[in-house]
Amino acid sequence: MTTLRCAACGTTAPAHFLACPRCRALFHAEELSALSQEADSLEARGDVLGALDRLRAMEPLLPATSTQTTQLRARLAALEPRAAGQKAAPSKVPRWLAGLGAAGVAVWKFAAPLLALLSKTKLLFVGLLKLPTLLSFFVSAALWSDGLSGLGLAVLVLLSIYVHEVGHTWAFRKYGIAVSAPMFVPGLGAFVRGASYPKSPAAAGDVALSGPWWGGVAGLVVLAAGLGTREAWLCGAAVLVAEVNLFNLLPVWQLDGARATKCLSPTQVLVVGGVGLLAGALAGSPMALLSGAGLVVRRWVAPPEGPGDRRTFVFLLALVLGLSALRFGAHLALGASPAGTGTLAGG
Ligand SMILES: [Zn+2]
Ligand SMILES: [Zn+2]
């Protein structure tokens, strides 16, 4: 086994030690100060994502309980909100288009946002091309299609869960955090794993809630398709998509609701919980009722300690209301469709 020798006092320690057990000198001091200096100069040049990347690389080199770690986390938290606002430099008009004069510039003004949208859509396919994601997706679909009516329904709901995970991926990347491809856990759902988690409440709430937000938009698309084609099973799928995303707002385990709750004040948790109970009762949504009840309980059982992030609060409130409305609308459409509710076994 390799050992480390402290440059300050000569004490030896196992290779996984981060600080000298005797004098507390840091074993990776040189690497740490190099990373810190790089972060400083990148930040000075306005490259917030680059600076965040260097600072995050410092975290595993510092003892978890050291004051340096506390300072590092505070610095990350201060820098993260600026990463979200950092826009890519406006793309220059390509030379061959600029040669066409005003017309060329006008064409580029129209095309540039489309290209940006395309690169965002490209994100939707990152995981679908990865073998483990694909395999776990089909195992989930095969297991699930047994209990519910039809493979189409299972595949559609799983696709919406996939979009939910891409929402998290998009948010992680916004803060410069590397993230794994989505993986499906048969019977449970799916997950993505970030290399680290944001330290500031605003960014942490953003990453947690971007999943249900993208998932809700996917549900809206499914409902629109159901209304357009008058297919009852599509409206039934939209009901399920809304419920799945409302379930994710439960403030327990590693669910999105738990991560978001940590960013709120106790009063904010109580307000969202109350709104969830009301919206769930009005929309007839079991999962909105469950999440609402869970949040009300969290107000008193292990409540968050922070002052509460306003943006996360508004985001969560909008999700509870929006997903409940989607659930309500989809159920209404299901009842009104010619085939009636018969298509969806068990409702
Ligand atoms: Zn020492
Ligand atoms: Zn999620």
What does the pLDDT read at residue 181?
Answer: 85
- Smallest-distance ligand from the CA of 246: 2
What does the pLDDT read at residue 187?
Answer: 67
Q: Ligand 2 center to residue 255 CA distance, Å?
A: 6
Name residues whose C-beta falls within 8 Å of residue 323's C-beta, 6 or more positions apart in sequence. Answer: 212, 216, 219, 242, 245, 246, 249, 285, 288
Structural contact between residues 220 and 326, judged by C-beta atoms closer than 8 angstroms: yes
What does the pLDDT read at residue 335?
Answer: 80
* Cα dihedral 103, 105, 110, 111 sign: positive
Q: Ligand 2 center to residue 137 CA distance, Å?
A: 16
Q: Ligand 2 center to residue 211 CA distance, Å?
A: 5
Q: Ligand 1 center to residue 63 CA distance, Å?
A: 14
Tell how many helices (H) and how many strands (E) occur in the chain: 13, 4
Q: Ligand 2 center to residue 191 CA distance, Å?
A: 7
Q: Ligand 2 center to residue 257 CA distance, Å?
A: 8
- Smallest-distance ligand from the CA of 5: 1
Q: Ligand 1 center to residue 20 CA distance, Å?
A: 5
What does the pLDDT read at residue 255?
Answer: 92
Q: Ligand 2 center to residue 61 CA distance, Å?
A: 29
Mean pLDDT by 10 residues, the chain (347 residues): 83 88 88 92 90 90 89 90 67 66 72 68 65 67 58 84 93 90 78 89 95 96 93 89 94 93 96 97 95 96 92 97 96 72 40
- The number of C-alpha atoms within 13 Å of 333 and in the hemisphere containing its C-beta is 25
Name which of 131, 129, 137 is nearest 162 in CA terms: 137
